[in-house]
Amino acid sequence: MEPRILVLDGNQRASLAAVRSLGAKGLWVAVGESAPESLAGCSRYCRQRVAYSDPFHSPRLFFDDILQQIESLGISFLLPITEATTYVLLRYRDELPDHIVLPFPSTEAVEQLANKNELFHLALEKDVPIPGTVFCQDAEEGLKALNGVERFPVVLKPFKSKVLDGDSIESTQVIIANSLEEARAAITSNTFFRFPFSIQSFINGTGQGVFALFDHGNPVCYFAHRRLREKPPGGGVSVLCESTPINEPLRESAETLLRSANWHGVAMVEFRVAEDGTGYLMEVNPRFWGSLQLAIDSGIDFPWWLYLVSTGQSVPETTWKYRRVRWLLGDLDRLYLVLKAPLSRYSLSRKLREVFNFVTPGLRTRHEVNRWNDLRPFWFELKHYLRALKN
């Protein structure tokens, strides 16, 4: 029987990268989203577009819609991209048909890494460096713990960025508090601090990640990249990045954690590297990441290899090669933010240099969304971009 794959979260750039990767191998791929059209759904490699209920508002209805699509389309492989769809599928995974492949380990293993409080406890056991941390179960406990904090800023870090609570999904956010007053105000004014969280010391340094694929507790491959430009400019989503050699100490820390959880599937392990070179663990995301296309272009085809290991097939040996990838419209947004910023922040010469860098991305730079052999996703993205500008 022909394998049939359903990629969820079609408006994510990682979904588009996965659809292109799998579709180019001749696999039948459908794309789902909580809207009739989506970025990845416009790809030439998408064979079928499906719509489902919004998992944020109706997790159970979303899952029932997925069950219906599995039956009607003959789906055999489910690939969620975001935390929201992943957590819902894991909650109800026992109700999935036996033939469905969901490329994740046990729900307990996912919780061990995705739950930041549990992750940091595991890191302490395995001697993986973490910032100074105080664990809190709720806002009341956190407010008491603040009385013992001697140095600011601190980082208030919810145990998850997406919390599946009852019949809805609530988004949280990491907050940097520069004073005791700011920390108290953040805890009392944000309802998501009713869930567990941690208070961590702030680490001055740079963010670095290790991207991995594991096959039932054993590493298959690793990848790393460096962010060259972000939106917003002070730190955020990568809009221009390049592949880089693996930082060996970070890889060792990532492997220690993933082996301990008997991990299966992909994971993004994020660190903050201090000036002395110590890599402090920040979080582990059990999913694909925004700049997935860069890894594929660099020869590390994570979606295809994930499919192979999840269906009992061998992964070809290969080595990574240097590449750069740019998200064009994200980079344009970033340039706009730089140009409208006051001269006290970006001088006129700096702004002119940023314009020059934007129009000369380099010969080795490929665009993430707009590709000559698959242009429809870019037209879809551009249409929605222009519509947003009008509004």
At residue 389, the pLDDT reads 87
pLDDT in tens, 56-112: 999 999 999 999 999 999 999 999 999 999 999 999 999 999 999 999 999 899 999
Dihedral (Cα; 177, 178, 184, 190), 10-degree rounding: -30
All residues at 6 or more sequence positions from 165 whose CB lies less than 8 Å from its CB, including other chains: 195
Residue 336 in this model has a pLDDT that exceeds 90: yes
Tell me what percent of the residues of the chain surpass a pLDDT of 70.
Answer: 100
Tell me the mean pLDDT in the region 183-192: 96
Q: Edge-to-edge strands of the sheet including 225-231? A: 225-231, 237-243, 324-326, 365-367
At residue 390, the pLDDT reads 83
At residue 77, the pLDDT reads 98
Which domains are delineated in the chain?
Answer: 4-102 (3.40.50.20), 105-129+204-391 (3.30.470.20), 132-201 (3.30.1490.20)
Which own/partner contact pairs does 358-364 have at CB distance under 8 Å and 24+ positions apart?
A: 358/331, 358/332, 361/240, 361/324, 361/326, 362/324, 364/322, 364/323, 364/324
Residue 299 in this model has a pLDDT that exceeds 80: yes
User: Residue 248: which pLDDT band, with cuts at 50, 70 and 90?
Assistant: very high
pLDDT in tens, 204-219: 988 899 999 999 999 9
* Residue 267 three-state SS: strand
Tokens of 97: 């048909």
pLDDT in tens, 16-62: 999 999 999 999 999 999 999 999 999 999 999 999 999 999 999 99
At residue 391, the pLDDT reads 77
Residue 263 and residue 285 in contact, taking contact as beta carbons nearer than 8 Å:
no
User: Residue 165: which pLDDT band, with cuts at 50, 70 and 90?
Assistant: confident
Residue 234 in this model has a pLDDT that exceeds 90: no
Q: At what angle do helices 376-390 and 328-340 cross, to 10 degrees?
A: 30
Tell me what percent of the residues of the chain surpass a pLDDT of 90.
Answer: 90
Residue 260 in this model has a pLDDT that exceeds 80: yes
Stretch among 28-32, 163-167, 185-189, 312-316 having the lowest mean pLDDT: 163-167
Residue 171 and residue 162 in contact, taking contact as beta carbons nearer than 8 Å:
yes
* Residue 49 three-state SS: strand
Look at residues 292, 283, 294 and name the one whose alpha carbon lies nearest to residue 253. 283
